[in-house]
Every structure is written in C-alpha cells, then in structure tokens.
C-alpha cells in the first residue's frame, strides 16, 4: 500500500514564549531563606531528590538521585523535605499571575508548577506597526495598549539572548529583514524584559524559549540553562538546498523527549525503528531506556508515514488521528493553541508513589492522606472570599445594625462533579525472580459526594468520610481480590468542573445575587413611584408606572392595588411582591446569623 510522506504544512505566524522557572522547588526555599543561595541545596520527596540548585549540581547531585547517594557524593549538602507542596503551589500561582499581567489576549497557559506559555502575537504585531525601520537601534516597545508611555527601549537590529542556530547574523541595521525575522526579534526582547522583571520584582530566575509553536518554544529554552533564553530563528521550513531550522533543531532529540509523545508512544516507536524491544536501565527507580532513538531516526525511516504511525500507535484509548499528530510533531509542526487563562482548573489531582503498598491498612492510611491533601487543595483552588455590604435605607434600629455588619462568606468557583481513583499495580514476579516493568494505570470514577463541598466540617473529618463512603468502595471495585496486589502509585482527582455563577468572565452560571444588586439600575424604567399630589386634585396619592417598553404610560394603580414590603418599605403590585420577598430572605438570614 502506497503511503504519503509529504511534510505537513507549517503555520509560523505566532510568537510564543515559554517560561521555565530555574530549579523551582529549590528556588521557593531559597526565596524564604536567602542564606541557602550559593550553598549545595536539594529538595527531598520520599527517599529521592526531586530537584537541587545549580551549586549542588556542580558538585555531582542530580534529579531522582537517592538521598544516600547524594550524601555520599556531597556530604555537606543541605536537604529540605518537600512533600508538602502547598508552598510550591502558592508560589506558582503568584508567578503565574505576574506573567499573566503582561498578556493582552489572556492566552497564558500553565504546565505544572514551573512552566508557563504565553502567546504574545498580538503585542508583537502592534509593535511591528509602530516600529521605525529607519532607526532600528533606538526603538521603544509598548507593553500597554492604553498607555503609549508604558514599555521599554530596545535595539531591534539584534536578538535578545541566544539565537538558534548559534551561527546566525545577530545585527542588521538595514531594516530590510523579512517580517517573521523581525517579529521573532521583538518577541525575544519582550521575553527578556519579562524575564528581568520576574527576577527583579519576584526574585525568581527563569529559562525562556521563543518560537512560533508551543513545541519548539518549550524545547529550545533547554539550550541555555539556567537564566538564559533562546529564540528559534527563520528559515523554519525546508528548502531545496537544506533543512529548515525546525528540523535541524529537533533531529537530535530523543523521541521520548518530544512533548506530546509520551512514554507508551515512544516505546512503540523505539521498538518499531529497532525492530526489537528497546533495552531498559533496570537500575533507575522511575524507568528509562538505554537505547536512544532520535527524531531523525523516526522521521527519516522510509517506512514511517502518517498512515503507518496511525496503525502503530492507534487502537483502544488512543485519540483519533494520533498518527498524523505525531507525524506533525516529528516535523516541528504544532498548531496547538495556548489556552486562555482560566479561573477554574479542569481538574485537581493528588498522587503519590510507593516502593511497596500491598496491605489494606496501608492503603487506607494513604487514601486518607491523599484525601486530606485533595480537599485542602480544592479549598485553595476553588474557594474565593465574597464580601457583601448591606445598603438599607430603612432607619429601623435592627436594619441599621444589619447595615453596619459586613457579611464575609466563602464561595465555590466551581463544583467538581466526578471523583476519580487511579492505581498503578506492579506486575507479578516472573519465575526467574525478575519483574516486567509496567506503567499501566487503572481507574474508576464515581459522582463526587456533595458533603465534600461543605465548609462546616474540618478537612480531616471530610477526608475520613470520603475514604469510608466513597474511596474504599471504589478501591474494592478496582481490586476485588483481598490481597495479592502491589501498588506503585495511587492518584485521587476531582474532575468535570461545573462553574458556579459569578462576575468572572469564565463563569457560566447566572449570578442571581449580582442581578439583584443591579436591579435598581436595570429596572429604573419600570419602577412604581409615588407621584406628588396634583394641585388640581385632592391630597390623594396616585401611583404611576414610569413609561417603559411594553407598558402603557396612561395606566394608573391606586393604593388598593399596591402592597408595601415590610422589610424595606417599597410599594409594588401584589404579583411582584412574591419575587421581591425572595430577594430579602437569603440576605436577612445570613445577616441575622452573623449578628447573633
């Protein structure tokens, strides 16, 4: 069967910046304790080093190193326990908010705690229009749409930071360069400005990549770590004479290092290229391959095409079109959009890994710990404080007392609808005593119990109920056997977020409270008002309906047709009183609860 190996079309119209905070976990501790800077410092989870600063790396330490080995290599290393990730989450939120403030389009996407993409195409395009090509050396980059004085001076004749490829003409004062090259220059200067501001104002250094796709921007930043930045420069597409810079950059990368090609897919690709199973390093705790298969090896193989990749990588559980997607990634073509900033995450997930977890008491203990972490994180990520001040015009003492009382409550931004439990069992021992590596996860989902959203109970109490009433039954469905299972990982997650009503642009619900707050302004053309006595008439009061759409301005209502609200004194027709009283009920009950 003939297959097509035509390279995918490139769309290189965007400017995307990727931030990767340097040694993030270690940097958070160093921000809290500046004395750690310059000393060999590492962060521990379980018996593993999850990160260490560059001084520790200079002395031979590295990620995923066993603690005993780290102390042997560097006896004076300072190690802090980092299993409580709340400090890292809080710091990540703060830095994300700082970077998001630079965006005009709100296309700011966070990956984990320490990586952020920004699509700054609109900012760059705006400054391209104001660029003085007759004097590129003295230019001004405007960072605010509304304020032309807000920004920074820069030299548009050169690139900020490092270019890829390294052999590249840095300076060009002629102004005759193509638009894509100029846009990448502007993107590099904006990235440098943001990187410097992040360090000066927040105390964190970062490594940055600038490119036309998320894929390239994420990978190219790794060339100049730490505290550096790299821009992939044109030409990106292939020509008759040579490969484009996108291909030459990707070609030396191991296939498993390409974002979007995960562990399982890379395994299948290695096996296909080698025509045998790739050898694994049995000494690594988290697994790894001894044999490297590069992007060039896969893309250059004459038997590889979108069709063959679909047959190789497709199947149950695989997304439709996976073959063409991987074919595009092999060519550096990635049209994936940078997601817009969201107030609500798509899911909240907590997990832990284990050397051995094979008894029910241990499982219950770990489920309880994970449940407490999950509920705590839900309250951090999904709860906001809502302040409402009552503005009553009634002068009765009890009403004045309520008016002086500020009502402070907490409100859920979203209600997760689904609870998911995931485990990763180890495969059984072989007759020769070895164990086949398995990274297969199994999951079970169920509706999230509503009591989890209650705020009157403690986190510990809710976690205990969640384990007993939901997680233990779910676990037994995943592992019906009483023993024999051995887990290397347990994950808890809440998903399927249903956003609640609010003033946020991302909220999908209707904020009834906010509607009532604005009712006087919205309904001003339909309010019933008492008219002053006419000189030609008795002192009898008349109530007139103020003219409005669909209302006859000659209609009159007498006193007998109106009712007076006992709470605020407003007079209105009887048919409107029912709805009006509903407006008072939640406010009054909430205030009375605070007063008592």
Query: pLDDT > 70: what percent of the chain?
Result: 77
Whether the CB-CB separation of 270 and 293 falls below 8 Å is answered with: yes
In which band, very low, low, confident or very high, does the pLDDT at 397 lie, cut at 50, 70 and 90? Answer: low
What local confidence, expressed as pLDDT, does residue 537 receive?
42
Q: Is the distance from CB of 164 to CB of 246 less than 8 angstroms?
A: no
- Specify whether the CB–CB gap between 489 and 389 falls below 8 A: no
Tokens of 78: 């300072």
Could you tell me the two tokens for 17?
């910046």
pLDDT beyond 70 at 511:
no
Give 478's contacts (C-beta < 8 A, 6+ positions apart). 421, 423, 442, 443, 444
Q: What confidence tens digit (pLDDT) does each residue in 352-384 have? A: 888 889 999 999 999 999 999 999 989 988 988
Contact yes or no for 233/184 (Cβ under 8 A): yes
Tokens of 188: 């590099």
Radius of gyration of the chain (CA): 31
Query: How many other C-beta atoms can be found within 10 angstroms of the C-beta atom of residue 183?
Result: 23
The token duo for 107 is 């296309």
d(CA 108, CA 19): 11
Cα–Cα distance measured from residue 243 to residue 251, given in angstroms and rounded to the nearest whole number: 10
Tokens of 403: 């008016």
- pLDDT higher than threshold 80 for residue 337: yes
Q: Out of 33-42, 257-266, 515-524, pick the least confident.
A: 515-524
pLDDT in tens, 469-498: 999 999 999 999 887 788 999 999 999 999
End-to-end CA distance of the chain: 81
| Interval 139-156: pLDDT, tens | 999 999 999 999 999 999
Q: Considering only residues 534 and 94, tell me which one the structure prediction assigns the higher pLDDT.
A: 94
Q: 420 is written with which tokens? A: 């998911």
Confidence tier at 508 by pLDDT (50, 70, 90):
very low
Distance from C-alpha of 324 to C-alpha of 479, rounded to nearest angstrom: 37
In which band, very low, low, confident or very high, does the pLDDT at 389 lie, cut at 50, 70 and 90? very low
Q: Categorize the per-residue pLDDT at 298 as very low, low, confident or very high, splitting at 50, 70 and 90.
A: very high
DSSP code for 480: -
pLDDT tens profile 62-82: 998 999 999 999 999 999 999
The DSSP secondary-structure symbol of 289 reads B
CB 91 within 8 A of CB 112: no
State the pLDDT at residue 517: 52
pLDDT at residue 391 tops 50? no
Q: What angle do CA 37, 24, 160 make, to 5 degrees?
A: 90
Q: What is the mean pLDDT of the chain?
A: 83
Residue 362: the pLDDT is 94
24: pLDDT strictly greater than 80: yes
The token pair at 97 is: 């908010």
Overall average pLDDT of the 307-313 stretch? 95
Characterize the bridge pairing of strands 65-66 and 528-531: unpaired
- Percentage helix, strand, coil for the chain under 3-state DSSP, each rounded to 5: 35, 20, 40
Can you give the three-state secondary structure of 414-430, one letter per residue?
A: EEEEEEEEEEEECCCEC
147 close to 126: Cβ distance less than 8 angstroms: no
Residue 392 has pLDDT above 50, yes or no: no
Token code pair at residue 386: 């809502």
Q: List, in sequence order, every beta strand (DSSP E) within 486-582.
A: 487-499, 528-531, 542-545, 556-557, 562-564, 571-573
**329: part of which helix (H) or strand (E)?**
helix 322-330
- SS3 label, residue 110: strand
Cβ neighbours of 591 (radius 10 Å): 21
Cα-based angle 173, 179, 182 (whole degrees, multiple of 5): 45
Pull the structure tokens for residue 521: 């302004």
- The per-residue pLDDT for 315 is 85
CB 217 within 8 A of CB 229: no
The pLDDT score that the predictor gives to residue 481 is 86
pLDDT above 70: residue 575: no
Question: Cα separations (Å) of 147 from 151, 186, 188, 508?
Answer: 9, 19, 22, 32
pLDDT tens readout for residues 170-216 = 666 666 789 999 999 999 999 999 999 999 999 999 999 999 999 99
Q: Which helix (H) or strand (E) holds 193?
A: helix 179-202
The string of DSSP codes covering 23-52 is THHHHHHHHH-GGGTTS-EEEEETTEEEEE
Which token pair is 19? 């931030």
| pTM recorded for the entire structure | 0.75
- Report the pLDDT value the prediction gives residue 566, as an integer from 0 to 100: 66
Q: Which residue has the higher pLDDT, 504 or 423?
A: 423
CB 219 within 8 A of CB 250: yes
For tokens 């890379």, the residue is 266
Taking Cα atoms as reference points, which of 207, 180, 214 lies closest to residue 192?
A: 207
Quickly list H helices, 383-499.
397-403, 459-466, 472-478
Tokens of 579: 């709805």
Task: Tell me the pLDDT tens digit for each residue of 524-550.
Answer: 554 554 444 444 444 333 333 333 333
Cβ proximity of 162 and 230 under 8 Å: yes
CA 590 to chain centre: 34
């Amino acid at each position: 069967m003939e297959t097509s190996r035509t390279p995918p079309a490139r769309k290189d119209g965007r400017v995307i910046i990727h931030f990767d905070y340097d040694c993030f976990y270690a940097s958070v501790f160093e921000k809290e304790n500046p004395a750690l800077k310059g000393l060999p410092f590492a962060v521990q989870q379980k018996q593993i080093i999850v990160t260490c600063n560059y001084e520790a790396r200079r002395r031979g330490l590295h990620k995923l190193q066993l603690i005993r080995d780290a102390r042997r290599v560097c006896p004076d290393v300072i190690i802090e326990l980092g299993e409580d990730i709340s400090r890292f989450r809080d710091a990540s939120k703060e830095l994300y908010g700082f970077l998001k403030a630079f965006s005009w389009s709100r296309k700011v996407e966070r990956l984990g705690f320490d990586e952020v993409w920004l699509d700054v195409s609109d900012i760059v395009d705006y400054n391209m229009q104001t660029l003085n090509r007759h004097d590129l050396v003295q230019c001004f980059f405007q960072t605010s749409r509304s304020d032309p004085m807000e920004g920074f001076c820069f030299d548009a004749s050169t690139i900020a930071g490092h270019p890829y490829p390294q052999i590249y003409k840095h300076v060009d004062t002629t102004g005759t360069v193509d638009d894509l090259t100029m846009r990448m220059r502007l993107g590099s200067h904006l990235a440098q400005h943001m990187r410097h501001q992040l360090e000066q104002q927040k105390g964190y250094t970062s490594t940055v990549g600038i490119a036309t796709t998320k894929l390239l921007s994420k990978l190219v930043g790794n060339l100049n770590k730490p505290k550096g930045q790299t821009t992939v420069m044109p030409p990106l597409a292939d020509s008759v004479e040579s490969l484009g810079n996108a291909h030459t950059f990707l070609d030396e990368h191991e296939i498993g290092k390409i974002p979007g090609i995960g562990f399982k897919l890379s395994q299948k690709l290695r096996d296909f290229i080698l025509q045998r199973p790739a050898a694994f390093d049995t000494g690594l705790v988290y697994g790894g391959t001894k044999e490297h298969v590069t992007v060039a090896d896969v893309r250059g193989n004459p038997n590889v095409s979108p069709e063959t990749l679909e047959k190789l990588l497709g199947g149950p559980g695989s997304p439709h079109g996976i073959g063409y997607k991987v074919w595009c990634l092999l060519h550096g073509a990635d049209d994936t959009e940078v997601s817009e900033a969201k107030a609500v995450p798509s899911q909240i997930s907590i997990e832990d890994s284990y050397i051995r977890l094979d008894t029910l008491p241990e499982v219950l203990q770990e489920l309880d710990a994970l449940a407490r972490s999950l509920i705590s994180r839900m309250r951090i990520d999904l709860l906001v404080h809502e302040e409402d001040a009552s503005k009553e015009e009634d002068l009765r003492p009890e009403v004045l007392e309520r008016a002086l009382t500020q009502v402070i409550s907490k409100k859920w931004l979203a209600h997760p609808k689904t609870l998911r439990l995931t485990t990763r069992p180890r495969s059984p021992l072989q007759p020769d005593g070895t164990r086949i590596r398995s990274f297969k996860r199994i999951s079970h989902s169920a509706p999230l119990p509503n009591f989890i959203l209650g705020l009157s109970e403690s986190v510990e109490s809710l976690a205990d109920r969640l384990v007993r009433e939901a997680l233990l039954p779910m676990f037994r469905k995943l592992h019906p056997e009483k023993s024999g299972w051995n887990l290397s990982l347990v994950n808890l997650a809440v998903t399927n977020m249903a956003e609640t009503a609010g003033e946020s642009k991302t909220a999908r619900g209707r904020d009834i409270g906010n509607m009532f707050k604005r009712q006087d302004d919205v309904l001003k053309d339909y309010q019933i008002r008492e008219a002053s006595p006419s000189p030609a008439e008795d002192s009898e009061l008349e109530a007139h309906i103020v003219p409005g759409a669909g209302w006859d301005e000659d209609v009159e209502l007498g006193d007998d047709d109106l009712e007076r609200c006992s709470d605020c004194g407003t007079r209105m027709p009887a048919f409107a009183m029912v709805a009006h009283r509903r407006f008072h009920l939640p406010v009054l009950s909430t205030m009375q609860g605070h007063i008592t």
